[in-house]
Structure 1
Amino acid sequence: MKFKINKWWVSVIVCAIIIISYMGISIFFANKFYFGSKINSINATGKTVDEVNSEIEKNIQLYTLKIEGRDKFESEIKGTDIGLKYKSGEKVKRIKEEQNPFGWIKGIFHGTDVTVSEIVEYNEDMLKEEIDKLQCFNDANVVEPKNPTFKYNDKGYEIIDKVDGNKVNKDVLIKKISKSIIEGKRNFNLDKEGCYEKPQYTKDSKEVKKAKDILDKYCSSKITYDLNGKKEVLDGSVINEWITVDDSYDVNVNKDSIINYVDTLAAKCNTIGDTRKFKSSLGNMVEVHGGNYGTVLDKSGEVSFLQNAITDGQVTSRTPEYLQTAFAKGTDDIGNTYVEVNLGTQHIWFYKNGQLITEGDVVTGNVTNNCATPAGVYRLNYKERNATLRGENYETPVSFWMPFNGGIGIHDATWRSAFGGNIYYNGGSHGCVNAPYDVANAIFNNIEPGTPVVCYS
């Protein structure tokens, strides 16, 4: 006899088995995490909240944060060294409460992977002590970050790229490490976490490129000076030493450097007050000290010119600006047009273009009254016809007045009946050179302002 199974009953039985199995598994997961559950990388499937908390606590006790950075730097901070401990298991409990026991099937296909943060606490002072011990804070190992710099060569400027260095910002590091510990991270990279201090600029920064263009322009300047017949070239090989670039890549030419350079020009050009070797009309060589004759560079004007010339990148030939110039160029800037006064022999000569125009005896300043005519090489200030000379106790009209040293000058002295000899010792002038009328007249008619007047003993 065959037993005939009703298909309907089979379906009912199968459904009952499935329902009973589902309910049984759901009951199993009522207090346990269902399939695919991970909490802070711990497999929580089938585990109770207490079991998960226990494993998390165990992991925390074994916690180590591995740190790495530039120059093969490696170190670690252990949880035991900073008083790390599990703060609360309530968050794990809440995760379990959010799992519907009847939703365990969903876990098979879509697991729950949760990272629970802020479940630990630590001693901040202990953490700072551990961070202070890191070798990256050893001064001997620290390389400061450096912005791009410039190097000058005969082709212009070269940009030397930035130096990243390895200097760690401690405040940033403490903040980032604290966050990593709270989040339970095990690895920490100083570079990825942005803990290194960085240069502000790179060689491709617009500020750097702009500064290079300006530097190249300034050092393309070339000024060829004519210094009394001698050539001196000022170009980038010198100018580059005067240029500074600040932290914002603003380019400046140091004015003090320009002033110092102009001082060297003045030392080569200026002859005022120099000691000169002079061949007298008597044939002997004499040394003449002091006086106001000679070349004087206009320092202020030349500094101003160079400031503009350099910033404009000028290439030019130039004769410097002078406040006054000598009659002649070169070492012997007295030349062959001059007045010669021999204070010892009380005699005067006037040469023009090498030719003797006139000569004669004179009377110079009164030695006894401390009014002696001072020695030196002077320049004729101006000449004046029919002048009146005034002093503290006198007022004297003269036909020819030719001052060369303040109130001291050459003039006629028609009130004198004799010149030369030793008259000047006791009967000399207030400092002027008294000359016979015809001598003064001849000098006046042939001399020009600026002509050297050489007075010597």
Structure 2
Amino acid sequence: MKDKSIGIILGVTTGLLAGYLASTLYMSGKIMPGTVINGADFSMVPRSELNDRLSAMERDAYAITVRDIHKNELTINGADIDLNAEFPVEKIRVQNPLIYPYYMLNPGNYFLEPDSVSFDEEKLKSIINHDLLPAEGSTDAPVDAFLTAYIPGAGYTIAAEEDGDTPDPDKVTAVIEDAITERAVFVDLNEEDCYLTADIRSNDTLLNQRAATLNEALSASITYDFGNQKIILNSDTYYPWLDKQEDGTVTLNDEKVDEYVTELKSSTDTAYTTRSFKTVSGRIINVKGPYGYNISKKKEIEQLKEDILSGLPVEREPVYTTSGCQRSGNEYGNTYLEVDMSNQKVYFIQDGNIVFTSDCVTGNTSRGRGTPTGIFSIMYKAKNVVLRGRDYASPVTYWMPFYNGCGFHDASWRGSFGGSIYRYSGSHGCVNMPIPKAKELYSLVEAGMPVITYY
């Protein structure tokens, strides 16, 4: 009986041992019961399937939210792009199946980060192109900062750049790929500089230098003094004349400057224009001639360009070839020489009063050599001059020319003056006077003094 009991015990023991050994053999190569990895129960999962199971978990759990510049968001799931992860499964220690009860009583809990992740790049690009990137032509392209057109009172200003909302597709794709590789769950495309921006910013050195150079030129002003009026030329008028060079310097458009000076001459010159004149006898006549204000176009252009490029305010008269006595009222003033050729009289008017009178002989009208009529000026005065022509050489003591070889002078060869002598025995065009009168007149006149001749 005792032997029978022993046999039973041995049989049971042998059976249990055989069952235990069979169970350990079954558990060989598997994760022991009670083992938790990344929050999931991996009991009895073959180690060879461990990475695939973990990768599948990562694929199903992973999602990344992408925000665009307008705060719109798109979520891309791991399953959408066939996310695959490689885990360091070797960090899960190999468990001894012979002591699996120990693991059941002392379950393991592990958390593994993948060593790397991969995904289907084509699927990701398709999602980006169709669901994230805007349709072509639906966005605002960047605009570079630029110099504005001239603004009266402000000059040239810099219009700020506009970056718009056009994404850079390659940058967007690269940023999202990097974020997924790093297992990021959120990415802001605007913060990651994924949008095209203007190349020239409002703080651009060259742009600001150009604006400063232009505005420096625009600070110039020229106030033309015409006596009875002033004409102001400032940047509101001349800004279109400025030519910006590639090296940042500023020049002036010669054609524009020429046009302005030409117009200034046309509107202000008095030389060769017709003017009214009240004679000694009280008669009102019209006179025309070279006397008066005549702007030197060439010199005024040069001076004007210099003034503008100086950047300074200037007040001055134009550069004249000839000028009158005054701009207000009669430009010849109230001191001048008057020759009444019908009556063969020379008058010197000083401060509005007749202070000198003389008979004279003017140009021979019968031979077509009449003294020119009009308004002129004494060119200069000289003594002891020989006046020469094609068929004569006449020495004179006092010579006061006023126009084209014609002038006042003494005529010692004449025995009489005045009357109608000029009609048949007049001069070659000069105003002949007795020696004493010529001497007296010589003492009175100065270069530039107006001379008015008429019949």
The TM-score by the shorter chain falls in which range?
A: 0.5 to 0.7
CA shift, 1:282, in A, is 1.8
Q: Does 1:397 align with 2:401?
A: no
CA shift, 1:340, in A, is 1.4
For residues 78-136 of structure 1, give each alpha carbon's deviation from its aligned partner in whole angstroms, at most 9, with x where no partner exists: xxxxxxxxxxxxxxxxx99xx99x98989x9455532455899xxxxxxxxxxxx9545
Supply the distance in 2 between the matched residues of 1:422 and 1:191 (Cα, whole angstroms). Answer: 104
Which residue number in structure 2 is paired with residue 372 of structure 1? 370
CA shift, 1:406, in A, is 2.3
Task: Tell whether the 8 Å contact from 2:213 to 2:249 is kept in structure 1 after alignment.
Answer: no
CA shift, 1:451, in A, is 1.1
Task: Tell whether the 8 Å contact from 2:382 to 2:399 is kept in structure 1 after alignment.
Answer: yes
SS at match of 2:427: coil
CA shift, 1:352, in A, is 3.0
Task: Tell whether the 8 Å contact from 2:161 to 2:200 is kept in structure 1 after alignment.
Answer: no
| Distance verdict in 2 for CA 1:104–1:433, change over 3 Å | same
Task: Tell whether the 8 Å contact from 1:190 to 1:196 is kept in structure 2 after alignment.
Answer: no
CA shift, 1:420, in A, is 3.6
| Distance verdict in 2 for CA 1:256–1:431, change over 3 Å | same
Supply the distance in 2 between the matched residues of 1:136 and 1:248 (Cα, whole angstroms). Answer: 38
Task: Tell me the TM-score normalised to structure 2 length.
Answer: 0.64
Which residue number in structure 1 is paired with residue 204 of structure 2? 205
For residues 205-244 of structure 1, give each alpha carbon's deviation from its aligned partner in whole angstroms, at most 9, with x where no partner exists: 3344444544554444454443224344444554556556
Supply the distance in 2 between the matched residues of 1:334 and 1:273 (Cα, whole angstroms). Answer: 13
| Distance verdict in 2 for CA 1:151–1:452, change over 3 Å | closer
Q: Does 1:17 align with 2:23?
A: no
| Distance verdict in 2 for CA 1:238–1:145, change over 3 Å | same
For residues 123-179 of structure 1, give each alpha carbon's deviation from its aligned partner in whole angstroms, at most 9, with x where no partner exists: xxxxxxxxxx95459xxx98976625266354x45745335386989xx98x98999
SS at match of 2:442: helix
Range with bigger deviation, 421-430 or 339-348: 421-430
Task: Tell whether the 8 Å contact from 2:213 to 2:248 is kept in structure 1 after alignment.
Answer: no
Supply the distance in 2 between the matched residues of 1:415 and 1:444 (Cα, whole angstroms). Answer: 19
CA shift, 1:253, in A, is 5.3
**Higher Rg:** 2
For residues 269-318 of structure 1, give each alpha carbon's deviation from its aligned partner in whole angstroms, at most 9, with x where no partner exists: 532112111111221011001x2212233444444444444444434543
Matches within 5 A, 1:403-442: 403-442=401-440
| Distance verdict in 2 for CA 1:148–1:418, change over 3 Å | closer
Gaps of 5+ in 1: 44-67, 73-94, 121-132
For residues 2-41 of structure 1, give each alpha carbon's deviation from its aligned partner in whole angstroms, at most 9, with x where no partner exists: 5686999999666633435489957779xxx934558xx9
Supply the distance in 1 between the matched residues of 2:246 and 2:69 (Cα, whole angstroms). Answer: 28
SS at match of 2:443: helix
| Distance verdict in 2 for CA 1:434–1:168, change over 3 Å | farther
CA shift, 1:404, in A, is 1.2
Task: Tell me the TM-score normalised to structure 1 length.
Answer: 0.64
Supply the distance in 1 between the matched residues of 2:24 and 2:411 (Cα, whole angstroms). Answer: 151
For 1:292, give the aligned amino acid.
P
Q: Does 1:34 align with 2:81?
A: no
SS at match of 2:28: helix
RMSD: 5.5
Task: Tell whether the 8 Å contact from 2:361 to 2:427 is kept in structure 1 after alignment.
Answer: yes
Range with bigger deviation, 441-450 or 4-13: 4-13
SS at match of 1:445: helix
Task: Tell whether the 8 Å contact from 1:26 to 1:104 is kept in structure 2 after alignment.
Answer: no
Matches within 5 A, 1:51-62: none
Q: Percent identity?
A: 26
Supply the distance in 1 between the matched residues of 2:411 and 2:13 (Cα, whole angstroms). Answer: 166
Q: Does 1:296 align with 2:294?
A: yes
Which residue number in structure 2 is paired with residue 356 of structure 1? 354
| Distance verdict in 2 for CA 1:9–1:225, change over 3 Å | farther
Which residue number in structure 2 is paired with residue 61 of structure 1? none
| Distance verdict in 2 for CA 1:119–1:165, change over 3 Å | closer
Which residue number in structure 2 is paired with residue 454 of structure 1? 452
Range with bigger deviation, 411-420 or 258-267: 258-267
Which residue number in structure 2 is paired with residue 331 of structure 1? 329
Task: Tell whether the 8 Å contact from 1:224 to 1:316 is kept in structure 2 after alignment.
Answer: yes
| Distance verdict in 2 for CA 1:177–1:206, change over 3 Å | closer
